[in-house]
Amino acid sequence: MRENYPAQSTNVLRHIPNAITSIRIIVAAIFPFCPEQMHIGLIALGLATEFFDGFTARLFNWSSYLGQILDPVADKLFVLSVSLTWVWLGKLTVLQWLLIGLRDFGILFIFIALIALGSIRSVRSVKARMTSKITTAFQYLAFLLVLTQATQYLTPLALITALIGLVATIHYVYLLRHSLKVSSGLRN
């Protein structure tokens, strides 16, 4: 019985990246209800989970289909939760919110369309791209500007974030189109 223990342990450990991602979803859910004094800590926690879920998945080869779906959903929920809360509190304008979230709105629309088409499995073949990672970095930088009240730089940063996000969204559409063509060709 002892011989099976390491394999079982490793199998359980494979879920660590998804557990880390789940923390970001929980933080997104509670963020609007937390006092503003907690926002910096919650954003730091969100950023840490953003890094460590993917890092552990790649380092230990613990990637999973669930993680490939859960991570981008957690990203979108977190960004939308923080930014909508700050629009409500008057820390972001609606325009800044739209610019910062452009990529997330685009990807969310694509995700919903894939569900409607019954093609959600095609997401598996589309990995996070550098443009998407840069967009996420700029979103967190925008959050930092709000936290430090350096809002004079927020609109220019939001514009840059929107442009990079638009490129990321177009790139995803291109990759998904190719993926859908390949998967439909395999079914025929």
At 103-130, the pLDDT tens digits run 888 877 777 777 777 766 555 555 667 8
Check whether residue 1 and residue 86 sit in a common domain.
yes
Last residue of a domain, one of 36, 56, 91: 91
Check whether residue 166 and residue 101 sit in a common domain.
yes
Check whether residue 80 and residue 105 sit in a common domain.
no
What average pLDDT does this structure show over 162-187?
75
Check whether residue 82 and residue 160 sit in a common domain.
no
Check whether residue 65 and residue 113 sit in a common domain.
no
Helical (H) or strand (E) element with 45: helix 39-59
Last residue of a domain, one of 91, 117, 146: 91
> pLDDT digits over 14-59, tens only?
999 999 999 999 999 999 999 999 999 999 999 999 999 989 999 9
Check whether residue 114 and residue 84 sit in a common domain.
no
Check whether residue 107 and residue 168 sit in a common domain.
yes
Looking at the chain, the number of H-run helices and the number of E-run strands are 8, 0
Question: What's the structural domain count of the chain?
Answer: 2
Check whether residue 96 and residue 188 sit in a common domain.
yes
Check whether residue 106 and residue 188 sit in a common domain.
yes
Check whether residue 111 and residue 183 sit in a common domain.
yes
Q: Is this model's pTM higher than 0.75 or not?
A: yes
In the predicted structure, residue 2 carries a pLDDT above the cut 50: no
The HSE-up count of residue 175 (CA atoms within 13 Å, CB side) is 16
Q: Give residue 176's domain range.
A: 92-188
% of the chain residues with pLDDT over 70: 84
List own/partner pairs for 89-95 with CB under 8 A and 24 or more apart: 89/36, 91/146, 91/151, 92/146, 92/154, 93/155, 95/155, 95/158
Last residue of a domain, one of 39, 70, 91: 91
Check whether residue 98 and residue 178 sit in a common domain.
yes
Check whether residue 101 and residue 74 sit in a common domain.
no
**What is the spatial distance between Cα 134 and Cα 58, in angstroms, rounded to a whole number?**
19
In the predicted structure, residue 171 carries a pLDDT above the cut 70: yes
